[in-house]
């Protein structure tokens, strides 16, 4: 056929499609310029590995779908069989379609088949204007009998210079914990078997050059966009190949393709940067912000009342919270768990999505009217995929559960999972949510929760996670079609369903149930590896954290919550007058900075002292920025050294000063460097290479710096 060269932004993808088999990726990474056909042939020739003794007579071909028939001895790209037959494939290229419109994603479609195995394969590759690559495989059964699919995983090669791996793990209230190690021979496999994305999911699996950081090093990364069981893998072979890939993790018998049926993999997102982790984030954030459905209106400051009232719903008390919220500058009021029938604690009521007449004798409308009368939007908590055994729905339809025949999965928060793959269960949930939003058109926001793993999740005797995941997508899509003005948050025991497939259907994620500001610094930093700030809920919690019982002053809590979709998770009706005044100032500051925070480029500072973290957001034209410097703990050194402020235009001059309008950390009065009182004016180059000395902050304090271009 031909050699294809796709180029967008600073990224190139070169595919050798001249052979009879599937195309081989000759290069994925930095832009290699505008090459003519002869130059491309020479480039491809230069990337063919040598024939070595005691090996194949021809070099094995690592294609877009690795096959044993081409000499690949690593993890298979495709695993399946037809009653024990057709377990190995030898796809042959049938055709290529290339569409490269200006200022739009380049699209490559690869069509291949294996008549002997009775299978047809379509591969779709896009390279968007920001340099983000996506790959999806579609496998169709063209044979006579059923074909059981066990795995179909897109992969991409990574060059040998990538010698380190970084991924994320975690648990409830400790999501997005980084782990890093050398990339050695073998497979580093991250499997998620939770039936949801999982608290321990790695948002990105990153391979990079030795010592790569936030602002330096060459890095390659992949993200599996799927909200059910999934796998993300890095593999390095002794034969010299290194690959990154990811796809759906299928249970035995979960996908059986009848003749003519097809299976589509989740999208695999792949991104390259020679500017470290921040470069990866810039490409991903730019891609997400360019989506047609990306939130365009200013993200409203949100009060969620969970940690204020829990299940104790009282109209007068909630009205008082709404009044105080309006005074502080809140723009959205969210009524959390406890409003529906039988829901006085977390042991009962899930599934009965009717307003509890005993608690709300006049319904929700009096509260909604009061909230909206204060100029606030009204939101509501739901958990539509779950059911309590102590509920009318369970008593009437115990057969609607996602189970294996004859037994229930282990209880988790006193709840089980509704099988939304059953049409009657799906229709019931859709009808209830649709009715709720139709009866209360002022509800403009749903906090959509999902509080347990899908354990032993069966549908009609077979594995059901795949069908459940697709049913949830259909439910969200249909609900949004019927109520296009309603925004939806993906909350799943905090941050257990954060991925780009669920975010194609929702407007933000709840990063964690932990509002402890110290924990949140790390959770938000690493969630931001994938997501821009406006898609991540970041709230000011109470002085003593609900989950860790750690105590923080308001300034540290508010500075941490500033960098995201800002909100409050606190009983603000009981706070002091001084606290109200300060909180009002922080909300006003967020609103002033919101256009920058929710559209600018995120940077994270590589500082040598692990006790000091710094990060910031820079306007796209690099004329202004805001940075936060946080002291996590004490340091061995008396002062941690100057903190560099990267990302600014090296040629411009900037004034740097503490953010005005909110109280400064108390230690500044005793340890302020001379420049801090009136600010300092330096070039972007000086700020990035020299930086500024900062006060010796106490542990768990933050200082905000505002940076503006000066003429």
Backbone region of residue 454 per phi and psi (left: phi > 0; alpha: psi in -120 to 50; beta: other values): beta
Sign of the CA dihedral running 382, 388, 390, 396: positive
Q: Which of 114, 128, 229, 513 is catalytic?
A: 513
Beta bridge partners of 630: 613, 702
Per-residue exposure over 310-347, b if at least 16 CB sit within 10 Å of its own CB, e if not: eeebeeeebbebbebbbebbbbbbbbbbbbbbbbeebe
390 catalytic residue (yes or no)? no
Q: Which two tokens stand for residue 406?
A: 């004859």
For the beta carbon of residue 155, count every other beta carbon within 10 angstroms: 28
Backbone region of residue 84 per phi and psi (left: phi > 0; alpha: psi in -120 to 50; beta: other values): left
Backbone region of residue 39 per phi and psi (left: phi > 0; alpha: psi in -120 to 50; beta: other values): alpha
Q: Which of 128, 336, 449, 507 is catalytic?
A: 449
Widest distance between CA atoms in the chain? 83
Q: Which residues fall within 8 angstroms of residue 278, CB to CB, at 6 or more apart? A: 214, 215, 602, 603, 604, 647
DSSP-H helix ranges across 270-422: 276-289, 306-309, 315-328, 365-373, 392-396
Distances 445 to 176, 273, 497 between C-alpha atoms, Å: 26, 36, 18
CA angle 599, 603, 604 (to 5 degrees): 140
Cα 103 from Cα 638, distance rounded (Å) = 52
Q: Which two tokens stand for residue 8?
A: 């967008």
Cα 23 from Cα 32, distance rounded (Å) = 19
DSSP state string for 357-399:
TTT-TT-SHHHHHHHHHTT-EEEEEE-TTEE-SBSHHHHH-GG
Between strands 487-490 and 443-448, the pairing is parallel
Cα 460 from Cα 403, distance rounded (Å) = 8
In three-state secondary structure terms, 286 is: helix
Per-residue exposure over 510-520, b if at least 16 CB sit within 10 Å of its own CB, e if not: bbbbbbbbbbb
249 neighbors 454 (Cβ within 8 angstroms): no
Sign of the CA dihedral running 676, 698, 176, 495: negative
Cα 331 from Cα 377, distance rounded (Å) = 6
Q: Which two tokens stand for residue 514?
A: 């932990």
Beta bridge partners of 620: none
**Burial, 149: exposed, middle or buried (Cβ in 10 Å; 0-12, 13-18, 19+)?**
buried
477 catalytic residue (yes or no)? no
Cα 92 from Cα 497, distance rounded (Å) = 38
In three-state secondary structure terms, 424 is: helix
Cα 592 from Cα 600, distance rounded (Å) = 14
Cα 247 from Cα 267, distance rounded (Å) = 8
The beta strand positions in 31-91, using DSSP E, are: 78-81
Catalytic center residues = 449, 513
């Amino acid at each position: 056929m031909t050699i294809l060269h796709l180029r967008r932004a600073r990224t190139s993808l070169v595919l050798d499609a001249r052979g009879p088999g599937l195309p081989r990726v000759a290069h994925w990474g930095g832009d290699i310029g505008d090459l003519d056909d002869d130059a491309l042939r020479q480039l491809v020739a230069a990337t063919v590995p040598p024939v070595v003794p005691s090996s194949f007579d021809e070099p094995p071909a690592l294609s877009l779908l690795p096959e044993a028939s081409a000499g690949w001895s690593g993890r298979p790209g495709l695993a399946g069989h037809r009653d024990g037959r057709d377990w190995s494939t030898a796809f042959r290229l049938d055709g290529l379609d290339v569409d490269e419109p200006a200022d739009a994603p380049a699209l490559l479609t690869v069509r291949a088949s294996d008549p002997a195995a009775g299978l047809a394969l379509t591969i779709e590759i896009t390279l968007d204007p920001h340099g983000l690559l996506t790959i999806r495989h579609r496998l169709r059964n063209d044979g006579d009998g059923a074909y059981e699919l066990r795995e179909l995983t897109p992969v991409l090669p990574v060059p040998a210079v990538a010698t380190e791996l970084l991924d994320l793990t975690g648990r409830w209230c400790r999501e997005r914990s980084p782990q890093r190690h050398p990339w050695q021979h073998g497979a580093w496999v991250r499997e998620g078997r939770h039936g949801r994305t999982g608290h321990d999911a790695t948002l990105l699996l990153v391979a990079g050059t030795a010592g790569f950081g936030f602002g330096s090093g060459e890095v390659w990364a992949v993200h599996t966009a799927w909200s059910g069981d999934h796998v993300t893998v890095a593999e390095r072979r002794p034969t010299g190949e290194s690959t990154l890939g990811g796809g759906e993790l299928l249970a035995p018998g979960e996908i059986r393709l009848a003749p003519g049926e097809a299976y589509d993999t989740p999208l695999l997102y792949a991104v390259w940067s020679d500017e470290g982790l921040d470069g990866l984030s810039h490409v991903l954030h730019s891609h997400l912000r360019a989506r047609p459905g990306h939130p365009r209106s200013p993200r409203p400051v949100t009060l969620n009342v969970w940690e204020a009232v829990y299940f104790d719903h009282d109209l007068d008390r909630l009205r008082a919270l709404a009044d105080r919220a309006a005074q502080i500058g809140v723009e959205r009021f969210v009524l959390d768990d406890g409003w529906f029938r039988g829901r006085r604690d977390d042991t009962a009521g899930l599934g009965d999505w009717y307003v509890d007449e005993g608690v709300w004798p006049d319904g929700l409308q009096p509260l909604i009217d009061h909230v909206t009368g204060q100029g606030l939007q009204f939101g509501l908590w739901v958990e539509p995929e779950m059911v309590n055994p102590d509920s009318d729905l369970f008593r009437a339809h115990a057969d609607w559960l996602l189970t294996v025949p004859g037994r229930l999965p282990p209880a988790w928060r006193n709840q089980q999972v509704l099988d939304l793959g059953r049409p009657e269960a799906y229709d019931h949930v859709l009808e209830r949510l649709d009715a709720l939003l139709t009866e209360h058109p002022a509800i403009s926001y749903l906090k959509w929760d999902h509080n347990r793993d899908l354990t032993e999740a069966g549908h009609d005797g077979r594995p059901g996670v795949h069908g459940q995941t697709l049913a949830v997508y259909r439910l969200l899509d249909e609900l949004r079609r019927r109520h296009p003005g309603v925004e939806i948050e993906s909350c799943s025991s905090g941050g257990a369903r954060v991925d780009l497939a669920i975010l194609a259907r929702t407007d933000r994620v709840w990063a964690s149930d932990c509002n402890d500001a110290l924990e949140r610094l790390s959770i938000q930093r690493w969630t931001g590896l994938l997501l821009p700030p406006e898609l991540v809920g970041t709230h000011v919690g109470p002085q003593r954290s609900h989950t860790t019982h750690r105590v923080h002053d308001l300034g540290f809590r508010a500075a941490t919550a500033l960098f995201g979709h800002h909100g409050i998770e606190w009983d603000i009706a009981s706070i002091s007058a001084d606290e109200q005044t300060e909180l009002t100032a922080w909300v006003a500051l967020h609103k002033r900075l919101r256009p920058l925070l929710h559209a600018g480029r995120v940077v994270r500072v590589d500082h040598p002292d692990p006790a000091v973290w710094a990060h910031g957001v820079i306007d796209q034209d690099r004329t202004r920025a805001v940075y936060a410097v946080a002291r996590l703990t004490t340091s061995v050194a008396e002062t941690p050294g100057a903190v560099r402020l990267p990302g600014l235009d090296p040629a411009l001059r900037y004034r740097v000063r503490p953010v005005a309008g909110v109280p400064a950390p108390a230690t500044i009065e005793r340890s302020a460097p001379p420049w801090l009182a009136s600010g300092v004016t330096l070039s972007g180059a000086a700020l990035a290479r020299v930086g500024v000395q900062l006060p010796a902050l106490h542990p768990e304090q933050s200082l905000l710096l505002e940076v503006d271009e000066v003429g």
